């Protein structure tokens, strides 16, 4: 926890609020998935579902940010979409190679 606070969320950082916002989105997504598994016994079949959930929260909560920060969050959301697409494509190629 100390490393997280010192490296990723340093209090003296000019981007502290934005980073804290991103931290909240990611961990809210993980928390809701965890609750679904623990309480309702509904388990994630695909890890990309968690990433899509985080992406959904990014889109829903972006209205809470100022205009400049919205653009920055949108850029991160675009990168996440590309990463997910690459991951899914790569996983599909690997499935064909191993015959899974």
In the chain, which ranges are continuous DSSP H helix?
2-3, 16-40, 48-61, 67-98
Give percent above pLDDT 70 in the chain: 90
Contact residues for 48 (Cβ-Cβ < 8 A; gap 6+): 84, 87, 88
Query: From CA 42, how far away is CA 49, in angstroms rounded?
Result: 13
Report if pTM > 0.85: no
Output the pLDDT for position 99.
44
The arithmetic mean of pLDDT across residues 68-89, rounded, is: 93
Judged by average pLDDT, the poorest of 5-19, 53-67, 81-95 is 5-19
Domain residues for the domain of 33 are 2-98
Domain tally, the chain = 1
* pLDDT at res. 95: 59
**Tens digits of per-residue pLDDT, 33-77?**
999 999 999 999 888 999 999 999 999 999 999 999 999 999 999
pLDDT at 97 over 60: no
């Amino acid at each position: 926890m100390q490393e997280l606070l010192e490296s990723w969320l340093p209090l003296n950082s000019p981007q502290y609020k934005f980073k804290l916002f991103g931290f909240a989105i990611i961990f809210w997504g993980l928390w809701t998935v965890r609750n679904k598994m623990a309480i309702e016994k509904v388990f994630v079949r695909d890890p990309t579902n968690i990433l899509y959930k985080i992406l959904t929260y990014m889109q829903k909560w972006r209205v809470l940010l100022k205009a400049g920060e919205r653009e920055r969050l949108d850029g991160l959301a675009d990168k996440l979409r590309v990463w997910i697409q690459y991951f899914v494509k790569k996983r599909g190629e690997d499935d064909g190679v191993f015959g899974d």
